[in-house]
Chains A and B, each alone.
Chain A
Amino acid sequence: MKKEEIIIHLENVSRYYHMGETIVKAVDGISLSVKKGDFVAVMGPSGSGKSTSMHLIGSLDVPTKGHIFLDGHDISSLHESDLAQIRGKNIGFIFQQFNLIPTLTVKENVMLPLSLQGISEEEREIKVNALLKKMELSERANHFPNQISGGQQQRVAIARALANDPEVILADEPTGNLDTKTGEIVMEHLEKLNDEGKTIVMVTHSPELAKEYADIVYWLKDGKIEKITTKKSKSMKKIGKWEGD
């Protein structure tokens, strides 16, 4: 059963970049809320501010204006060291290009967030082995990223994102570099995580993916929210019926 508690809240958030004398408004006055356990998709054309929004939510960047609340805490003006803690403990990232560390094995990549948080070796071993088993990667534990397929790399990225058991998973085009079938497998994993209570925020170019998996879809254009479509219930999601379409 999904909780109604808001886990992510953006309040009139803007992110501007100064390019000489020009100001680029990547995100311009966005306000949105994500409830715990939601599966949210963020869509829009190139340059609409999708990735910037993702970076702001994930504390990889700080807003020029506005406030960002994560689990009730304002993270808008925190120092980098605090933001790093938030990224490490509360958020898991999954990127389009997998972004694994090439000099670390599969196991070591998954273990990295735990190492950075100072978790003991014993506990790390237990958690990582469980995650590798969950993602069906146990046999690849000692392989390096260049020795496994794209789909497997993305599963490693998912395992890594789950290492510190974060509440929020941010997925930036998670199937963008994968073939259709492999992409489906990855999406099934994300759906399963959502069913287990994780909040998923996914950036995607694919309306089909968004409609199939997301509870809410934010459509961005020119850094603003153009429209929001929602599902009334899970069953509505399954049959492709959306409010706001």
Chain B
Amino acid sequence: MNYFLFALRNLKRKGVRSWLTLLGICIGIAAVVSLISLGSGLQEAVLSQFGVGSTEVITVQASGGFMGPPGSEVVTPLTLDDVNAINGVSSVDFAYRENILTGQMEYNDILGIGYATTIPLDYIKEYYEINEVKIEYGRLLKKGDSRKILLGFNFYNGKTNGFERTILPGKQVLINDEIFNVIGILEKTGSFLYDSAVFMLESDMDSISDKGDNADIITVKVKNKDLMNRTKIDIEKLLRKRRDVKVGGEDFSVSTPESSLDQVNQILGAIQVFVIIIASISIVIGAVGIVNTMTTSVLERRKEIGIMKSVGARNSQIFSQFFIESGFLGFIGGGIGVLLGISLGYIGTGMINNFIGSDTLPIINFSLIFFSLFGSFLIGALAGIFPAMKAAKQNPVQALSS
């Protein structure tokens, strides 16, 4: 017996009611699919902000600052002495400081707020390698350059850089009222952190800020990737001793790419779980809707059940018919939900990309789609169990006379 054809005809017969019933499942599945694909896309977008090079380094920062970039408004900043001490750890290849300055930049008589980051004088080449810095226009900074800067790619286009004029190598800009020459524009990385930054040598930052010996970020390159975790532990021990803090009371953080990623994943994971729970409520409500619709359907089709029994339908066949019809309702709702969810995933990721300047796409996991469809059929079918049992148990004589 062609249960699916029968199911489809019956669903079409009650068009509006069927559509309203599957709406609950549709919304729930759309929410789940969009959030999971968005979440995966968001994870990719956030990870892209870390950059490829950062997977090979440990990052040390002082904690306690509430607002602004790393190192700002911390109680006990890291210093050059800490950098030197870390350089003494046996598994460390080298370590250098990076300072970040928030300030104003003026170009074409337009003021903008942004941030500048330093390139260490003693590790210029290593800095470019670690961060995979590549030049688009002009050249990279080198030792001996003075009052020269590199700009991230977002500064190039006059239509989008906020200064209404293209900035090219050779142009002059004012940073905190000091004149700087643009020596190069970097290649687009897709990371907001790099594409919107101003890069200058340490010596130039010292002349326009009061950072002194402070180190906003200490970047540590380990000798061997396998020593990453051990090095992290050694640096933590060292800094605890230097800063006289106990375990659990650290006023600094030592992050490996793995731990940074874990933190991001934890936050994203928690958000996803929360939203999936909310979406699941919608699915449960959708299932209740299916129970209601199928129960009504059984009552309305009593005579039909009686007819089928009179021509030889067994209870199991009647049960199967309603069970499959119910599952079909869930499946169609889930199918539409998947399409809607994928669309929402694309829209959401597009919005995230615009916000943080990344280029990622939502991750459409085909096993997610498969399980969503299978799950919706299952939810629908399970919701239809009691109505299907009720249908199967109908007394043929009473059903025929209804």
Contact = CB atoms under 8 A, between A and B. Distances in A.
Interface of A: 55, 58, 60-61, 80-81, 84-85, 87-89, 93, 95, 99-104, 112-113, 115-117, 160, 163-164
Contacts of B396: 55, 60-61
A88 B311 contact: yes
A88 B13 CA distance: 27
A117 B312 contact: yes
Interface residues of B, number: 23
A113 B309 CA distance: 10
B309 A87 contact: yes
Contacts of B1: 112, 115-116
Interface in B305-323: 306-317
A84 B307 contact: no
Given A99-B310, A160-B311, A55 B397 contact: yes
Contacts of B10: 103
B400 interface: yes
User: 6 closest Cβ contacts across the A-B interface?
Assistant: A88-B312, A103-B9, A115-B1, A84-B314, A113-B311, A60-B396
Contacts of B400: 60, 95, 99
12 contacts: A85-B314, A87-B311, A87-B312, A88-B313, A89-B312, A93-B310, A99-B400, A100-B307, A102-B304, A103-B13, A112-B1, A116-B1
A101 B400 CA distance: 12
B367 interface: no
Nearest to B3: A115
B316 A164 contact: no
Nearest to A87: B312
B309 A112 contact: no
A40 to B, nearest CB: 19
Nearest to A103: B9
A116 B397 contact: no
Contacts of A116: 1, 308, 311-314, 317
B370 interface: no
B303 interface: yes
Contacts of B308: 101, 112, 116
A64 to B, nearest CB: 13
A235 to B, nearest CB: 35
Contacts of B311: 87-88, 93, 112-113, 116, 160, 163
A125 B88 CA distance: 88
B354 interface: no
Interface string B1-33: 110001001100100000000000000000000
A111 B312 CA distance: 12
Contacts, number: 69
Nearest to A116: B312
A101 B13 CA distance: 12
A99 B312 contact: no
A105 B129 CA distance: 74
A21 to B, nearest CB: 21
Contacts of B316: 81
A55 B10 CA distance: 28
Contacts of A89: 312
A52 to B, nearest CB: 8
Contacts of B314: 80-81, 84-85, 116
Contacts of A112: 1, 308, 311
B401 to A, nearest CB: 9
B310 A104 contact: no
A58 B310 CA distance: 8
Nearest to B396: A60
Nearest to A52: B397
B310 A60 contact: yes
B312 A113 contact: yes
Contacts of A100: 307
A217 to B, nearest CB: 24
Nearest to A55: B397
B304 A101 contact: yes
Nearest to B401: A51
A160 B9 CA distance: 20
Contacts of A160: 311
A112 B309 CA distance: 11
A218 B269 CA distance: 78
A102 B308 CA distance: 12
A100 B396 CA distance: 15
Nearest to A60: B396
Contact of B309 (A84, A115, A163): A84
Contacts of B9: 103-104
Contacts of B306: 99
B309 A60 contact: yes
Interface centre among A58, A95, A101, A163 (most CB of B within 10 A): A101
Given A103-B13, A104-B9, A116-B1, A60 B312 contact: no
Given A81-B314, A81-B316, A89-B312, 20 more contacts: A60-B309, A60-B310, A81-B315, A84-B309, A87-B310, A95-B400, A99-B306, A99-B310, A99-B400, A100-B307, A103-B6, A112-B311, A113-B311, A116-B308, A116-B312, A116-B313, A116-B317, A117-B312, A160-B311, A164-B312
Nearest to B11: A103
A88 B396 CA distance: 13
A101 B315 contact: no
Contacts of A117: 312
Contact of B312 (A55, A61, A84, A95): A84
Interface in B370-402: 396-397, 400
B324 to A, nearest CB: 14
